[in-house]
Amino acid sequence: MKCSRRNFLQKSIYGALAVTLPLTAFKILSPGEAAAALKESNLRWAFLVDTRKCVGCGLCVKACKNENEIPYDTPVTRTWVERYVVTRDGKTRIDSPNGARDGFTSPEMLGEKIDEKEITKAFFVPKLCNHCATPACVQVCPVGATYQAPDGAVLVDRTWCIGCGYCIMACPYGVRFFHPVHKVAEKCTFCYHRISKGMQAACVQACPFGVRQMGNIKDPDDPVTKIIMSERVGVLKDEYGTKPHVFYLGLDERVR
């Protein structure tokens, strides 16, 4: 290939123009402008559980199963309550019979009688989907059936889910299960049909002791946000980097 001087200069100029021209298409936006362009919502749901108030009645589990039509007698549930009993010998016993659907009515645990005098501490921990900011379950879905709604709720598209179960394996909290009727992955929706109407989630409403609360974490005046901001709250399995949005008051190190 031959290249004259004239030809070389001409092509260099064209090349330089081609490189610089698209730069004018870029514009530096202020953070406010960027947020407006992305239409970022000012709503992000968060959940607060006060474990110190829980008595293990399981009315939340019962209400959730009825409200969300999870077959009542199947061993699956969107929310459940765990009982932790720590004895003098340092052992921790954990149980949740039927997800505590019928509450805890017996001091017996896993077929074992525990001497009352041996118990150093015992408590109940309600669990549900953490609606993580970076949910592992969503990341692994091969078909785009599970996603994070603009308000933070992690939902499953029942018409799109192929039931492969990757998300059930991926969730570090074990909150997902296979729906026995719809044959798709199932999980807590934060009662999306209720919160989008301005109602409380079924479990929040059913709790007689105010253990469960929900709020908008982007609103600094929200009573729940105020507690999360000003009191000592913990989250489950922080080390997984999933940024869970269910916050716990009075969380014990034994809770997994």
| Binding site residues, another protein, CB under 8 A | 38, 52-59, 62-63, 66-68, 85, 102-107, 116, 119-124, 134-135, 138-139, 144-150, 155, 157-160, 189, 192-194, 196-197, 199-200, 202, 205-206, 208-209
- The smaller minimum CB distance to another protein, of residues 63 and 246, is found at 63
The whole-angstrom separation of Cα 105 and Cα 199 is 30
The whole-angstrom separation of Cα 34 and Cα 18 is 27
- The smaller minimum CB distance to another protein, of residues 76 and 149, is found at 149
> Could you tell me if residue 2 is left (phi over 0), alpha (psi between -120 and 50 degrees) or otherwise beta?
beta
- The smaller minimum CB distance to another protein, of residues 7 and 53, is found at 53
* Smallest distance from another protein to CB 194, Å: 6
- The smaller minimum CB distance to another protein, of residues 85 and 246, is found at 85
- The smaller minimum CB distance to another protein, of residues 165 and 250, is found at 250
| Beta carbons of 212 and 48 less than 8 angstroms apart | yes
The whole-angstrom separation of Cα 61 and Cα 59 is 5
- The smaller minimum CB distance to another protein, of residues 206 and 228, is found at 206
* Smallest distance from another protein to CB 12, Å: 38
- Phi then psi for residue 199, to 5 deg, are -90, 170
The per-residue DSSP string of 17-39 comes to HHHHGGGGG--PPPHHHHHHHTT
* Smallest distance from another protein to CB 17, Å: 33
Residues in the chain: 256
* Smallest distance from another protein to CB 226, Å: 22
- Going by the DSSP 8-state scheme, the letter that residue 231 receives in this structure is S
* Smallest distance from another protein to CB 30, Å: 19
The whole-angstrom separation of Cα 1 and Cα 74 is 77
* Smallest distance from another protein to CB 107, Å: 6
Q: Give the β-pairing of 177-178 and 185-186.
A: antiparallel
